[in-house]
Chain A
Amino acid sequence: MSQLENANPVIFQRSGDRLLTSNDEDEDVHDPIDDREIFDIRAINDPEHPLSLEELNVVEQVRVQVNDEESIVGIEFTPTIPHCSMATLIGLSIKVKLLRSLPDRFKIDVHITPGTHASEEAVNKQLADKERVAAALENSSLLEVVNQCLTPTRGI
């Protein structure tokens, strides 16, 4: 990585932690898995910058669709520039994070926000292909990069 593709990205504000309600502490209330909960994957690190995907506006809460009853999750992510070569890697990180964080019953769909990337279709196809995702994670150097994106940053 000799030269950053997008050396000076626009930075967005982080949203705060979810506010606790009395329902959250009531044993008997069932809390459905909702878009905000899924959106908490926002803490994924960008592969290039010391910033999270939320701060780069790659993921946004409005682009998260959840249906808890039917066990479906859909996420659109927006690469910072249309030619971003990291798009597949970012998509893969999001996918892996969701696989690790959600119950098995969910069908997870990760794709690029329509019209925001040059090779949108190819990337979407790769991310949707279970076999290819599994194969990618067999590759230890790729897994290493994904894990680095998913390692929580320690507060400074």
Chain B
Amino acid sequence: MAADSAVLLSLVEEFVSGLQDIVLALSLSLTSSQPHTRARAVQLLSQVLHDCHGALTEREVEVLLAFYENRLKDHYVITPPVLHGLRALTKCTVLPPGSAVSMLRSLFQDVHVQSLMLGERACVYNMLINLMATREAELKGLGADFVFGFVQSMDGERDPRNLLLAFQIARTIVLRGYDLGKFTEELFEVTSCYFPIDFSPVSPCLLCLVLCGVAGVSKYEHKDVAEFLEGLWASLRREVFQTASEKIEAAGLAALTALTSCLSRSVLNSDSEDSLSTFLQLVLTDCKHHLCEPDLKLVWPSAKLLQAACAASSRASHTVADAVMPALIEQYNGRAQCSQRRTLLEVVQRFLQSVKTCESEESVFSAFRPALCTVVFSALTETNSSLQITAASVLTSLARHNLLLDSDIELAVDHLTRLLLTEEDERVSLAVVECAGALAELRSAAFITNLIPRLKKELEASEKLSHHAVRQRCLSALAAVSTQPGVVQESAPVLLEVLGSAHAGGVVFSVEEVVAACGSLRRIAERVQDTEETGRCFHDVIIPRLLSLALQAALQGGGGSPGRRSPLLEEVVLAAMVPVISTSCSRLQPTLAGQTAARAVSLFLDGDVSFLPDNSFPSNLQLLKQGDSWSQSQMVCLLLGCVCSLPRTVEAPRLDELMTELEEMSCACSHPLSYTSAAKCFAGLANKRAAGESLDGLIQRTMKRVCSELDCPSSPARTQAFTLMIWVAKALLLRYHPLYATLTDKLFSLLDDADLGPAAADAFLLLMSDTADILNRGCHADVRIMYRQRFFSENSAKLVQGFNAAPQEKKPNYLKALSNIVNKLPKQVQLTELPALLSLLLEALLCPDHAVQLSTLSCLEPVLMEPPPALIQQLEALVGRLLALTASAVMSVRIASLRCIHSISCFPAHEVLPFRARVLRALSRPLDDHKRLVRREAVRARAEWFLLGSPGGS
């Protein structure tokens, strides 16, 4: 259920704009007669409130408060989520006057705090803390009642975490002068009984948590802490030096940071000593010398402690850095071994990362700038790859601290370029590309003048195909550095030039490299800042150039062997170009994107080539009416990129005309890529088109045409019509258009079709899964929440009926369709829906199709963790079929079935014991399987079944 509400919550965040919608949507559950249903609804509402309490209006808060206060009187299972929600409301800034009082009155009246669970008690204390922070005057108006309520709430509290909260409240009550009335003694009694605190830490983790709490929450005078500093430090050091788990170490380090920052905040009196510097001296004395030991044995724990202190405050970081950095640099220069140098460099890197940079201030490390630069540049020239990788990340950090002068940046770019062009180690080049990307974001000038021209030269020069790896690195580096508009102006032409030469055949580029160049353009489109300048670059330069190149290639025609014709005719290359275009249209400059769409439409409808560069095209182009020339007709996939990913605010022009042509092409063309792309493009437009009669008419017309093709078994265009139908069905299903049902019903009926049956079963996978190039949220498609669940719940009965009525040889199609649908449902939905489909799933285990077996097994596996009663009744059939599948010819089926058998061993023992001997016997065979992975599952499953019902076993 926790997972369930997490899913719902994320959906709510994504889709629901107003609180009103949520309350309306929940209204049935909120008023359900089942207390558990009400509790879940309130829980969801409360979680939403936690996330959006800042955005509520006073009126909304008032209504919610009245509701929540009333719910406190409800069934006890509802109390926890109600408290949770009330706590969210206490954080509202617009809490109406008087509401704090009424909230507390109902709370103290209706809830007995000490009989709540730990988390809910904490919730109550937090509410009090929130209200005391913002509504002090109002609470004081309650007089002694407030103190009485609090005393009753905390009386008997035993959990140390809750006590910390309660003490905080008690302290505020006393300090802020709340009226104690006649409850002075009671307050004293309930708090004093805990003193002296005799606390033996059960787990150090808890200790650290407590420490964090103490150091972080409270406003202790530094004098209070001062006398304990030595003890605290000793125990923290012990936890980190002799750590047993990463969690404890992290908690210890966090505590050290919190403590240091607490000391940094303290105000010094004239007579007191500076406790921060005393404390840091302690830390430095114990840790610094480890950084200089010849064996570097304790270097990491010491460095982590120092970094934790360093991260606390500006003053602390100055003290620590001044003491540590010279020693580290000296160490680095004094050592010859690469591994030691790398360790030291990594320590330096962690120090750089631990200190937050602040633009207005000079960096803590500026005194060490020259020395650090020397170290980094010398490390970059080493041959040891790990050292180079670390150096690259230090370089990035130095740039983030604004420590690099222009001359340093130039030197850095030189080094990076050299490494890009010469370094063969993949990890190094990856680190170098990443570093170049980070640096270019901060200091782009040197990259424009230096790096890009060098890469350009490299890409133009190398005739040798052996340079493949170098070219790949150049292409990915060009993408990585292009996040600033100025850089894109320089890098994009280089990438376009690669495509141009590949087409012209001047420099020989492999298809793979052309795809990589398109991939780089796509990455730029995804990451670059959306400015007018970049928008123009993409919409006025890059996209026209891509279209122009593709059109030139298309007009040359697809004749000749694949080795000699233009690579731009290859499907993989076109498939890589589409996302460049669609990403630009979906995220860069909507107005310009609209212009791109208009130009593309007139190119495809009218043959208008006026916006294309290198314009030597014939004037009578008819790209959508090319039955014979596949090289021209497949261009339609680029049209898809231009018109299907526009933001919803931009409408594609001449929709009716365009969709008619696309429909015609998708039904009449015989080239698979062409008719599929036309169908997808049609679907993409249908998905976004405004609802109404014109859309309905269009769909009905298309539907009629598709059905007439499909109903004629001899028609040559059946596959085409089928393809169009699936895509349109998907487009309508996503937006909950009522007409989708006619299309999917047709699809169901095709499961019995002699030719298209298997394809129809596979089509359900397409309906239920996300597609990368179209009809997804990235292309601003109209995708409603939970459309899969909705489709499933509306259609599962049809599937079962169809299955029962179908002739034996058609049944596998139904099973495959079912497994395609069920597999894409969220696990939580599967668990609730599967019992109804159990008989079908068991049937599917007998289906000879391996894909069906596998997907059925993967559906079953999670269900077996919490078996529904219906399943236990069918145990005989289940076990028998699973055991048969352990001898399957397909390895993954054997593995999945063994896992399921393993899970069954956890069923109630009295149900499965009768099968023990049989399972053990059957499992001895897969123990000798020729695949190790199968044997491993068999061993695990058999071990569990042996323990079942045996003394000492489960």
A143 near B954: Cβ-Cβ < 8 Å = no
B933 near A102: Cβ-Cβ < 8 Å = no
Given known A101-B927, A103-B924, contact A33–B952 (CB-CB < 8 A): no
Across the interface, which residues of A come within 8 angstroms of B927, CB to CB? 101-103
Query: B766 contacts the other chain (Cβ, under 8 Å)?
Result: no
Complex: how many Å from CA A105 to CA B951?
Answer: 27
B939 nearest CB neighbor, chain A only: A101
Query: B931 contacts the other chain (Cβ, under 8 Å)?
Result: yes
Given known A104-B924, A144-B951, contact A27–B943 (CB-CB < 8 A): no
B951 near A31: Cβ-Cβ < 8 Å = no
Across the interface, which residues of B come within 8 angstroms of A104, CB to CB? 924
B943 near A100: Cβ-Cβ < 8 Å = yes
Query: Which segment of A73-81, A114-122, A127-135, A147-155 sits at the interface?
Result: A147-155
Q: Mark B896-938, 1 if CB is under 8 A from A, else 0.
A: 0000000000000000000000000000100110111101100
Across the interface, which residues of B come within 8 angstroms of A105, CB to CB? 928
A30 nearest CB neighbor, chain B only: B930
* Chain A interface, >50% SS class: helix
Complex: how many Å from CA A54 to CA B523?
Answer: 48
Query: B953 contacts the other chain (Cβ, under 8 Å)?
Result: yes
Q: How far is the CB of A115 from chain B (nearest CB, A)?
A: 32
Query: B229 contacts the other chain (Cβ, under 8 Å)?
Result: no
A100 nearest CB neighbor, chain B only: B946
Across the interface, which residues of A come within 8 angstroms of B298, CB to CB? none
B947 near A150: Cβ-Cβ < 8 Å = yes
A145 near B952: Cβ-Cβ < 8 Å = yes
Count residues of chain B with CB under 8 A from any CB of chain A.
22
Complex: how many Å from CA A101 to CA B941?
Answer: 10
Query: B890 contacts the other chain (Cβ, under 8 Å)?
Result: yes
B931 near A27: Cβ-Cβ < 8 Å = yes
Across the interface, which residues of A come within 8 angstroms of B936, CB to CB? 37, 40
A151 near B924: Cβ-Cβ < 8 Å = no
Most buried by A among B890, B942, B943, B951: B951
Query: B659 contacts the other chain (Cβ, under 8 Å)?
Result: no
Across the interface, which residues of B come within 8 angstroms of A29, CB to CB? 931
Q: How far is the CB of B233 from chain A (nearest CB, A)?
A: 29
Complex: how many Å from CA A69 to CA B562?
Answer: 49
Complex: how many Å from CA A148 to CA B950?
Answer: 10
Find A33's partner among B935, B942, B944, B954 (CB 8 Å cutoff): B935
Given known A101-B939, A144-B952, A145-B952, contact A24–B924 (CB-CB < 8 A): no
Assign chain A's interface to a size class: 20 to 34
Across the interface, which residues of A come within 8 angstroms of B947, CB to CB? 147, 150-151
Query: B891 contacts the other chain (Cβ, under 8 Å)?
Result: yes
B943 near A24: Cβ-Cβ < 8 Å = no
Across the interface, which residues of A come within 8 angstroms of B944, CB to CB? 152
Complex: how many Å from CA A77 to CA B890?
Answer: 37
Complex: how many Å from CA A60 to CA B212?
Answer: 43
The total of Cβ contacts below 8 Å across the A-B interface reads 61
Find B951's partner among A24, A27, A101, A147 (CB 8 Å cutoff): A147
Across the interface, which residues of B come within 8 angstroms of A143, CB to CB? 950-952
Complex: how many Å from CA A25 to CA B892?
Answer: 9
Across the interface, which residues of B come within 8 angstroms of A145, CB to CB? 952
B954 near A24: Cβ-Cβ < 8 Å = no
Q: How far is the CB of B59 from chain A (nearest CB, A)?
A: 50
Across the interface, which residues of B come within 8 angstroms of A24, CB to CB? 931-933
A140 near B951: Cβ-Cβ < 8 Å = yes
Query: A146 contacts the other chain (Cβ, under 8 Å)?
Result: yes
Q: How far is the CB of A122 from chain B (nearest CB, A)?
A: 25
A31 near B891: Cβ-Cβ < 8 Å = no
Complex: how many Å from CA A145 to CA B947?
Answer: 12
A27 near B952: Cβ-Cβ < 8 Å = no
Q: How far is the CB of B300 from chain A (nearest CB, A)?
A: 18
Find A103's partner among B928, B931, B943, B951 (CB 8 Å cutoff): B928
Query: A141 contacts the other chain (Cβ, under 8 Å)?
Result: yes
B923 nearest CB neighbor, chain A only: A100
A31 near B931: Cβ-Cβ < 8 Å = yes
Across the interface, which residues of A come within 8 angstroms of B951, CB to CB? 140-141, 143-144, 147
Q: How far is the CB of A137 from chain B (nearest CB, A)?
A: 10
Complex: how many Å from CA A105 to CA B936?
Answer: 17
Q: Mark A26-38, 1 if CB is under 8 A from B, else 0.
A: 0101110100010
A147 near B890: Cβ-Cβ < 8 Å = no
Across the interface, which residues of B come within 8 angstroms of A33, CB to CB? 932, 935
B953 nearest CB neighbor, chain A only: A147
Given known A101-B939, A103-B927, A105-B928, contact A151–B933 (CB-CB < 8 A): no
Across the interface, which residues of A come within 8 angstroms of B942, CB to CB? 100-101
Complex: how many Å from CA A97 to CA B954?
Answer: 16
Given known A101-B943, A102-B927, A103-B924, contact A151–B932 (CB-CB < 8 A): no
Q: Mark A101-114, 1 if CB is under 8 A from B, else 0.
A: 11111000000000
B950 near A31: Cβ-Cβ < 8 Å = no
Q: How far is the CB of A134 from chain B (nearest CB, A)?
A: 15
Across the interface, which residues of A come within 8 angstroms of B954, CB to CB? 151
A147 near B932: Cβ-Cβ < 8 Å = no
B951 nearest CB neighbor, chain A only: A144
A146 near B933: Cβ-Cβ < 8 Å = no
Complex: how many Å from CA A124 to CA B927?
Answer: 27
A97 nearest CB neighbor, chain B only: B943
A17 nearest CB neighbor, chain B only: B936
Within 8 A of A (CB), among B599-613: none
Across the interface, which residues of B come within 8 angstroms of A20, CB to CB? 933
A148 near B952: Cβ-Cβ < 8 Å = yes
Q: How far is the CB of A151 from chain B (nearest CB, A)?
A: 6
Q: How far is the CB of A131 from chain B (nearest CB, A)?
A: 21
A37 near B924: Cβ-Cβ < 8 Å = no
Across the interface, which residues of A come within 8 angstroms of B953, CB to CB? 147, 151
A27 near B924: Cβ-Cβ < 8 Å = no
Complex: how many Å from CA A40 to CA B930?
Answer: 17
Given known A100-B946, A151-B952, contact A31–B924 (CB-CB < 8 A): no
Complex: how many Å from CA A146 to CA B936?
Answer: 21
Across the interface, which residues of A come within 8 angstroms of B928, CB to CB? 103, 105
Q: How far is the CB of A9 from chain B (nearest CB, A)?
A: 17
Across the interface, which residues of A come within 8 angstroms of B924, CB to CB? 103-104
Across the interface, which residues of B come within 8 angstroms of A37, CB to CB? 932, 935-936
Within 8 A of B (CB), among A7-65: 20, 24-25, 27, 29-31, 33, 37, 40
A25 near B935: Cβ-Cβ < 8 Å = no
B952 near A146: Cβ-Cβ < 8 Å = yes
Across the interface, which residues of A come within 8 angstroms of B930, CB to CB? 30-31
Q: How far is the CB of A6 from chain B (nearest CB, A)?
A: 21
B894 nearest CB neighbor, chain A only: A27
Q: How far is the CB of B560 from chain A (nearest CB, A)?
A: 36
B928 nearest CB neighbor, chain A only: A103
Q: How far is the CB of B828 from chain A (nearest CB, A)?
A: 24
Across the interface, which residues of A come within 8 angstroms of B933, CB to CB? 20, 24-25
A147 near B952: Cβ-Cβ < 8 Å = yes
Q: How far is the CB of B244 from chain A (nearest CB, A)?
A: 12
B950 near A147: Cβ-Cβ < 8 Å = yes
Across the interface, which residues of B come within 8 angstroms of A102, CB to CB? 927
A27 nearest CB neighbor, chain B only: B891
Q: How far is the CB of A85 from chain B (nearest CB, A)?
A: 19
Across the interface, which residues of B come within 8 angstroms of A152, CB to CB? 943-944
Find B890's partner among A25, A27, A141, A151 (CB 8 Å cutoff): A27
Complex: how many Å from CA A105 to CA B890?
Answer: 24
Q: How far is the CB of A49 from chain B (nearest CB, A)?
A: 16
In the assembled complex, 6 residue pairs joining A and B whose CB atoms fall closer than 8 Å, in A order, are A24-B933, A29-B931, A97-B943, A100-B946, A101-B939, A148-B952
Q: Which residues of B contact A (CB under 8 A)?
A: 890-891, 924, 927-928, 930-933, 935-936, 939, 942-944, 946-947, 950-954
Q: Which residues of A contact B (CB under 8 A)?
A: 20, 24-25, 27, 29-31, 33, 37, 40, 97, 100-105, 140-141, 143-148, 150-152
Given contacts A103-B927, A143-B951, A151-B947, 12 further A-B contacts (CB under 8 A): A24-B933, A31-B931, A31-B932, A37-B932, A37-B936, A100-B942, A144-B952, A147-B947, A148-B952, A150-B946, A150-B947, A152-B943
Q: A-B pairs with the 6 shortest C-beta distances?
A: A144-B952, A147-B952, A103-B928, A31-B932, A144-B951, A101-B939
